[in-house]
Chain A
Amino acid sequence: MAQNLIVSPSPHIVHKDNTRQIMLDVCLALMPALIASVLIFGYRAFMLTAVTVAAAVVFEYLYRKLMKKESSIGDCSAIVTGLLLAYNLPPTLPFWMAIIGAFIAIVIVKQLFGGIGFNFANPAIVGRIVLALSFTAKMTTYSYPDNGIDAFTSATPLAAAEDPSAYLTLFLGNHGGVLGETSVLALLIGGVYLVIRKVISPVLPITYVATVAVMSLLCGHDPLYQILSGGLMLGAIFMATDYTTSPFTRKGKLAAGIFLGVVTCLIRFFGNSAEGVSFAILLMNIILPYINRLTRQKALGGGKAK
């Protein structure tokens, strides 16, 4: 009997889920929003998304090639970053600006810090913020729906007068705004899929949205309007739940959700920027090590870890 047996430490079986599968699940969950954006803004939304995703993947490939590191495009995380960045751009943005955004997200924020798992902030969020600060005019030129259906005729609804009869429009997303954030329905479908597939925990998104609702009530704003408009749903479901830049434990996710909700509302109600969600998430990313340290689990029989 042959005796060339492998001797390795236990366990000897592993779960079938892998990084690539998780990233592909996220891509799939983002598809309803892409379809919605094409229906709302026309084919250019699709073109911009395609260019951004392609740029993200190419930058990831070129950087690893240049640095003589093993290629990492197989894990599909660059596709997710590309999609999320595109969803944060107005559909009319020139392609070259989107490519700059992809460069910042992939090369500056992700690869320079060590690649997947090492980025200190969500690459797509930083990409969006840098573009918003550099090309403010283009980044805030929110286009109107391109399908002839009666819609908001104002700029992004958050900056527009509040119109209580428009909840359904907000929910379906047939209004001006950035590419992927307008249709709450499409984003929710993706979010439910991710929760069912156990890719994300619902704790953070639910806490985030609930905190925004409570804060709105306290500050005398319409909670439903605040939840349905702006980038809240995209941010809560897809951006704030990014593994590397969100807390590990349930307690941490709860704390982060409350923090995000409070900061978002403060920026929305007392600031004059439309970037409430983006800056809130960036701030959460930066204080993440502290959140993780303060919200560790209580070990079985071992008291609280300090």
Chain B
Amino acid sequence: MKGTVNRMEVILPMIRFLDRSSLGAHVPHRKNTRESSTAVMPVPQKIVLMMSQHIGAPANPVVSKGDKVYVGTLVGEAQGAVSANIHSGVSGTVAEITEMIASNGSMQKAVVITPDGEQTVDPSIQPPKVTDFNSFIEAVRQSGLVGLGGAGFPAAVKLSPKNLDGVDTLLINGAECEPYITSDHREFMERSGDILDGIKAVMKYLNLKQAIIGIEKNKPEAIALMRQKIDTPSITVKVLPSRYPQGAEKTLVESCTKKEVPKGGLPADVGVIVMNVTSVSFLSRYLKTGMPLTKKRLTVDGDIVKEPKNVEVIVGTPFSELIDFCGGLTSEPVKAVQGGPMMGVCLFDLSYPVLKLNNALLVFGEKLGHLPKPSPCIRCGRCINGCPMGLSPVEIASAYQRENKEELAALQIDLCMECGTCTFVCPAKRPVTQTMKLAKEYMKKGGNA
């Protein structure tokens, strides 16, 4: 029997080696701001609260022009099951309720608030009364918490999966695999106590057996600190390889638990709930104070930002004011990205406001703002060996070009998470990820372009 086990230990990794390389990409780290402790940005001239700062239905404004609001006042109310509340981070007056183009191109309602500078806290703010699972989920819903790693999925929905009985593991995502961003790293360094309290609260109310904190090995200080602070054997730190996209949900689940999230499924299907480290840390503070999510730490970096640093900013602050707080720019901006350089979304206007789910602002000048010109595909297969999902981008691109629906379905384009690895590794500099997005959209529409 023992011999069989040993043989399997040799054979299984070999099968895994041949089945899927999933090498990901060795992206440059550029974590220039890792030592930069969070600077608190003063109250801005105005805040603009977009009503869609999460995945799901936009919130509905519950204030009107001229209303007085306070810090923590509910401004937008969640609509439907998958949605999230939006609160004011300033005390002041509602200047207008308007419509703006969101960075995805759609029109969104937005509430503009002129701060009075007093930062008076809403008198109704008090710690939530949490006694059991239902009151816990209700508190999370009220807090307006969304996935702060960048996806913005409403936390209350994530924490109440259909098969809660089958879930036993809380996985805390502290991989932070995107270049530049150190915002989660600072959360570890500055609020380790809150993180552990939050983990314990989630474990208590969801009745979970264990928690694993996944941290990429390029953050040794965070790993050491968390290992030192952990005071219970049910919470462990998992050191992850420094390889993009280590923090992608399915990749993280596989790295930490060796389980594969099935196609179309959720981590809960394999007994895991994944939460971002900053999210869980916020949750513990909300349970103590009742102050909803109105502030966010952003890493401001890029080759033309004068003073790259981590900034705690009130949600809704225009990016242009955030840049001014970081000393301004050394030259004309060519590209501005909210989020990391691998998956971040371009800003078309620097007056655009900070969203809850943002974790970075990157501003690039002439040197880094342009990408090299594409050349013909040499079929080297780097996109295939890099793809964390084990897909075949080069074959998908060719099937998409031929509008071959059957082939695209067989190649499982629907599994693509658009992480950007294929474009990053392509030596011919082809926009592979963009083609994957187009192919995915094409299939979603039933194969009609």
Give residues in A with beta carbon < 8 Å to B.
1-3, 5-15, 17-19, 21-22, 75, 77, 115-118, 201, 243-244, 247-251, 254, 292, 296-303, 305-306
- Cβ of B17: which chain A residues have Cβ within 8 Å of it? 250
Chain B, interface size category, equals 35 or more
Instruction: Tell me the complex Cα distance, A25–B179, Å.
Output: 27
Q: Are B381 and A243 within 8 A (Cβ)?
A: yes
- Cβ of A244: which chain B residues have Cβ within 8 Å of it? 378-379
Instruction: Tell me the complex Cα distance, A249–B395, Å.
Output: 12
Pick the most buried of A10, A116, A302: most chain B CB atoms within 10 A of its CB: A10
Nearest A residue to B419 via CB reads A11
Q: Given A2-B332, A299-B391, A301-B262 in contact, is the A13-B179 Cβ separation under 8 Å?
A: yes
3 closest A-B pairs by CB: A11-B420, A248-B381, A297-B390
Q: Are A300 and B390 within 8 A (Cβ)?
A: yes
Instruction: Tell me the complex Cα distance, A299–B261, Å.
Output: 11
Instruction: Tell me the complex Cα distance, A247–B384, Å.
Output: 11
User: Separation in Å of the B44 CB from the closest CB of chain A?
Assistant: 15
Could you say which of B21, B27, B415 contacts A13, with CB atoms under 8 Å apart? B27
B389 in the interface (beta carbon within 8 A): yes
B100 in the interface (beta carbon within 8 A): no
- Cβ of A2: which chain B residues have Cβ within 8 Å of it? 332-333
Q: Are A12 and B371 within 8 A (Cβ)?
A: yes
B207 in the interface (beta carbon within 8 A): no
Q: Are B341 and A13 within 8 A (Cβ)?
A: yes
B445 in the interface (beta carbon within 8 A): no
- Cβ of A299: which chain B residues have Cβ within 8 Å of it? 20, 263, 389-391, 412, 415
Instruction: Tell me the complex Cα distance, A12–B17, Å.
Output: 30
Could you say which of A7, A247, A292 contacts B348, with CB atoms under 8 Å apart? A7
7 A-B pairs within 8 Å (CB atoms) are namely A6-B334, A11-B343, A17-B425, A249-B21, A299-B263, A299-B415, A305-B391
Could you say which of B21, B261, B337, B342 contacts A297, with CB atoms under 8 Å apart? B21
Instruction: Tell me the complex Cα distance, A248–B411, Å.
Output: 14
Q: Are A300 and B20 within 8 A (Cβ)?
A: yes
- Cβ of B390: which chain A residues have Cβ within 8 Å of it? 297-300, 302
Q: Given A116-B376, A297-B19, A302-B263 in contact, is the A15-B336 Cβ separation under 8 Å?
A: no
Of B49-57, B151-159, B426-434, the one contacting chain A is: B426-434
Q: Are A14 and B381 within 8 A (Cβ)?
A: no
* Further contacts, 4 of them, CB under 8 A, given A10-B341, A14-B372: A10-B343, A75-B375, A300-B260, A301-B262
B380 in the interface (beta carbon within 8 A): yes
- Cβ of B203: which chain A residues have Cβ within 8 Å of it? none
B377 in the interface (beta carbon within 8 A): yes
Q: Given A14-B426, A296-B392, A301-B260 in contact, is the A6-B381 Cβ separation under 8 Å?
A: no
Could you say which of B254, B362, B427 contacts A21, with CB atoms under 8 Å apart? B427
Q: Are A11 and B342 within 8 A (Cβ)?
A: yes
Q: Are B420 and A3 within 8 A (Cβ)?
A: no
Q: Are B254 and A300 within 8 A (Cβ)?
A: yes
Q: Given A13-B27, A14-B426 in contact, is the A6-B394 Cβ separation under 8 Å?
A: no
Q: Are A8 and B335 within 8 A (Cβ)?
A: yes
Q: Are B392 and A10 within 8 A (Cβ)?
A: no
Q: Are A14 and B347 within 8 A (Cβ)?
A: no
Q: Are A298 and B349 within 8 A (Cβ)?
A: no
Could you say which of A10, A75, A250, A254 contacts B345, with CB atoms under 8 Å apart? A10
